[in-house]
Structure 1
Amino acid sequence: MFTIDKQTLSDLNAMSWNASSLLDFFDNTITVGGRDVLYDYFLHPLNDQEQIQHRQEAIAYLAAVDMDKLFDKYMMDDLERYLSLPKEVYSQSQFSYYVDKFATNFWSLTYEKERLLITQSIKEVAQIIINLSVVFENASCSDKPIGLLARLSHSFSEITADFNLEELQKVSLGKNTLNAIIKYDYIFRNVKRNDITEIFAMWYTLDALRSVAKSLKRKQLVFPQFIEKDEGENLLNIKGLYNLALENPIKNDVEVKRCQNIWFLTGANMTGKSTLLKSISACVYLAHLGLPVPADSMQAMLFQGLITTINLGDNLIAGYSHFFNEVRRLKMIAGTLEKKGKIVIVLDELFKGTNYQDAYEATLKLMDSIAGIEDAVFFISSHIAELSTELKKNKQVAFRFLKTEMQDDKGVVFTYCLASGVADEKLGMWFLEREKVFDTFEKVKSAQ
């Protein structure tokens, strides 16, 4: 199982707990059941390369297929209500079921609502079965890989092996005789009730996959490739990485080599360190969901987990300060690393809950402690650029920073471009002076 926790999901704005989440970006589902399937995908990343590939192939195939008109949100709501009608006493035959219906005055005005629901639902269940048979037949005949659709198609064929598809085609048109209504209500709600539930689940899965396929076409996304441990020197290589939440994002290249799997990222406030770390983490996360990623290309190891500490706060209920929360988080990360090994760890501005000297020594000790761990990838950002003097002794550390430029007419310009090296800008005083913060205090003092 791929390890991820609620803090990481919150850091990535993965779910619909906040506006403009990753889930919202990919959610073009039409049915409630389809959205439930997609939501479940986002809660459970994969660490099986075959499963990931099968999901990728299904999405890629559906990106070229127009299926929107097949789905109807309200139809599925009614069909779920139809299947949830109180179970009938099981009848030994269609004839006895027919007799039972008449014995309860099913065709009287009292039962009109239920009768209309059943009549309409029989037609719509037949439509879903016919539509699925066409979708799966077309997919099976395709010269493209169809991944997950192949397994769904096989299951569908087994479930519907004894269905008369020609007769169901007529039922799907809605002009059904009394005999046909009784027959298929008996089949759908009694004999094949569990199978129909399974067919609905396939329908929802198609809706979820189709939803992602629409996002794939709408924005410049690519499917990542996974590399074996002995393939080359890279653990992670993302070209043209960008953030989905930005309208005009700056693209960056991220390359993590086996010999330098610890990144030390520096840069002043507002240079974009946190956004970059979120973008990298989002790509790793989406890749292990089997979804496309916001980049020009991506190659990565198959990781066992992703843990981030980007927006960590106090825990007032438990009585923990920000710093103690950081300590507890680091302890959890160490335990997970001990069990899993091959995970991506992202730590943004660690130890900001304590004083400068404490943070300096703690960060240095942490970097020394993780040196020699080869399978994991570490992204660690810090304001304390002075650490680089000591860290340069560690050949496992790669130094990166986000560039700023000083222009006479504009002042500080944030490029959001990633570069090798260490940031040495001190922009805190520059911002305070630009906003005339101290001048305002002087005016207050003079007025007294």
Structure 2
Amino acid sequence: MNYTQTSVGSEYLLNQLRDIKLSQETLEEDEKLYRAMEIEELREKVLLPLSKLGKHDFTDSSAFFYGNHTRGVKNPLIFNVLALLPVASIILLFVQLKLGILCLFMSFIINGIMYYRHKQIVEYGLHSVSYVANIINTGNQLAAIPDDKIQEETRKLKGNLKPLKKVLWLNNFVSMGTKGNGDFDAIVEYIRILFLLDFISYNRIIGTVSQHKENYRAIWEIIGRLDASIAVAYYRHTLQAYCVPSFTDSMEISFTNMAHPLITDPVTNSSDLGKTTLITGSNASGKSTYSKAVAINAILAQTINTVLADTWRMKPIYVATSMAVQDNVLDGDSYFIAEIKSLRRIITMLEKGKPCLSVIDELLKGTNTIERIAASAAMMDWLSNTNGINITATHDIELTEIMKSSYDNYHFTEKFKDGDIHFDYTIYRGPSNTKNAIKLLEVLAYPTRITEQANRLAEDFLLEREWNSI
């Protein structure tokens, strides 16, 4: 999805995908931009300055309006005074030639020492500041695009650029001698050393941007929004099918022909999911992929107004998941500890009153059967009485009976044919009535002693409801 041209656009798009807003006003405004960027003539006009700005690592350009940006060099007054020495020496040349030459030579030596002693301190900062100046320059170029479809953006850019215009010519000093012009660059390098232009320009740019950081933030966000809008328009163009979501006040998610965005040739599914849904099914049948597809599309619907489905309707809601949990050796967390911490995040969100779509894959599988089923049922019951929608996928068929009065049951299944297993990856109503774990061992040619004994033990347990010793 990241077809952005700039570091600003990438950062903006990432933040956009992580920042669900329950109001549809922003989505409607963004949709106008997505449609506008489908127009080739306008898109190319916007792309030209964006591509010139480009992507650069470690620019940290958003830090300037968050207040933790790179600080200027210490004691800037010293650099200002030293920068005046060569100017005074040049004036002195017309009064006393020898003294003027001596002063000019000494100022070059002193400023050269200062330049190379402090160059490393500001080298990283200059990289960041230069990109910030280029952001402002890009805003200046975008503001000059005469098109009614981005009239609001260009108007805001023009208003916020005024107090930052000084940054543009200050940046000329920072970028002097970096154009690859051979001998000329060497001469300019000496001028930058003699007059300490890097340090003075660096301090002035930081000071100007810090003084007008809200204006800079507005420019940054407009550039990011335009860049991200082009990326979303491109992304939509790559999809076989997509729709713009609709929203309802009912606790439901309803869709037709929904697809997972990372599968090249996906099997699509249609569902009308209510407040609580329990999905069962055998291994590799599609439970996890379906659950992830619902969660991902719910995020896309509420962030970039785009869903991989023919139709999609849902309640505006935050999304929290407990999926693909892993243990953490460094933190000393076992799988079960990591799992209950993941579930605790969901509980905390709901306790704070946030409406939440919780998607849980294999609830509490990191513990023993009796406690897992008991705790899972208790948690599912708690979730059913909160301000949210819950989708839980599990292997524990017992939960379909325990929770049948409060959860809608759905399942995935498979067929065995000619010694092989076939999945249709389609969701069906009702609880699962198939198991395939031992059959999969047979398909993968496990020793018959293992599979026959496993089948016998499973059959005995189903008849007697207790395990026989081996």
Q: Please state which band the TM-score falls in when normalised by the shorter chain.
A: 0.5 to 0.7
2:101 — aligned with what? none
2:339 — aligned with what? 326
2:32 — aligned with what? 57
1:350 — aligned with what? 363
Pick one of 68, 89, 99 that aligns with 2:47.
68
- Is this contact kept in 2: 1:234–1:255, CA < 8 A? no
Is 1:268 equivalent to 2:282 in the alignment?
yes
Is 1:248 equivalent to 2:248 in the alignment?
no
User: 1:221 and 1:283 mapped to 2: Cα distance?
Assistant: 10
> Could you say which structure has the higher helix fraction?
2
Alpha carbons of structure 1 residues 224 and 100: separation in structure 2 relative to 1, 3 Å: farther
- Is this contact kept in 1: 2:139–2:223, CA < 8 A? no
User: 1:333 and 1:158 mapped to 2: Cα distance?
Assistant: 43
Alpha carbons of structure 1 residues 425 and 31: separation in structure 2 relative to 1, 3 Å: same
| 1:156 maps to amino acid | L
User: 1:441 and 1:264 mapped to 2: Cα distance?
Assistant: 32
Pick one of 373, 378, 395 that aligns with 1:365.
378
- Is this contact kept in 1: 2:295–2:359, CA < 8 A? yes
Partner secondary structure for residue 340 of structure 1: coil
Alpha carbons of structure 1 residues 284 and 201: separation in structure 2 relative to 1, 3 Å: closer
TM-superposed CA distance for 1:207, in Å, is: 1.7
Q: How does 1:394-413 map to 2 (within 5 A)?
A: 394=405, 396-407=406-417, 409=418, 411-413=420-422
Is 1:382 equivalent to 2:410 in the alignment?
no
In the superposition, the TM-score normalised over structure 1's length comes to 0.67
Alpha carbons of structure 1 residues 104 and 276: separation in structure 2 relative to 1, 3 Å: farther
Please identify, of 41-50 and 240-249, the stretch whose mean Cα deviation from structure 2 is larger: 41-50
- Is this contact kept in 1: 2:245–2:307, CA < 8 A? yes
User: 2:295 and 2:393 mapped to 1: Cα distance?
Assistant: 13
User: 2:236 and 2:333 mapped to 1: Cα distance?
Assistant: 42
2:303 — aligned with what? 289
1:37 — aligned with what? 12
- Is this contact kept in 1: 2:257–2:269, CA < 8 A? yes
Bigger relative CO (Cα 8 Å, ≥ 6 apart)? 1
Query: What whole-Å deviation, never above 9, does each CA across 1:27-51 have from its counterpart, x for those lacking one?
Result: 1112222222222223433233222
2:440 — aligned with what? 431
What is the root-mean-square deviation in Å for CA atoms of aligned residues? 4.7
Aligned residues: 373
| 1:292 maps to amino acid | T
Query: What whole-Å deviation, never above 9, does each CA across 1:385-428 have from its counterpart, x for those lacking one?
Result: 23323322x1x311111232333x46321001111111111111
Alpha carbons of structure 1 residues 441 and 300: separation in structure 2 relative to 1, 3 Å: closer
TM-superposed CA distance for 1:296, in Å, is: 1.8
Q: How does 1:298-309 map to 2 (within 5 A)?
A: 298-303=312-317, 305-309=318-322
In the superposition, the TM-score normalised over structure 2's length comes to 0.65
User: 2:322 and 2:247 mapped to 1: Cα distance?
Assistant: 25
| 2:245 maps to amino acid | P
User: 1:359 and 1:402 mapped to 2: Cα distance?
Assistant: 22
Percent sequence identity over matched residues?
Answer: 20
| 1:301 maps to amino acid | K
1:9 — aligned with what? none
TM-superposed CA distance for 1:324, in Å, is: 3.3
Pick one of 133, 142, 146 that aligns with 1:132.
142
1:224 — aligned with what? 245
| 2:48 maps to amino acid | K
TM-superposed CA distance for 1:56, in Å, is: 3.0
TM-superposed CA distance for 1:104, in Å, is: 9.5
Is 1:238 equivalent to 2:255 in the alignment?
yes
Q: Which 5+ residue runs of structure 2 have no aligned equivalent?
A: 65-69, 78-83, 91-107, 113-125, 170-200, 452-470
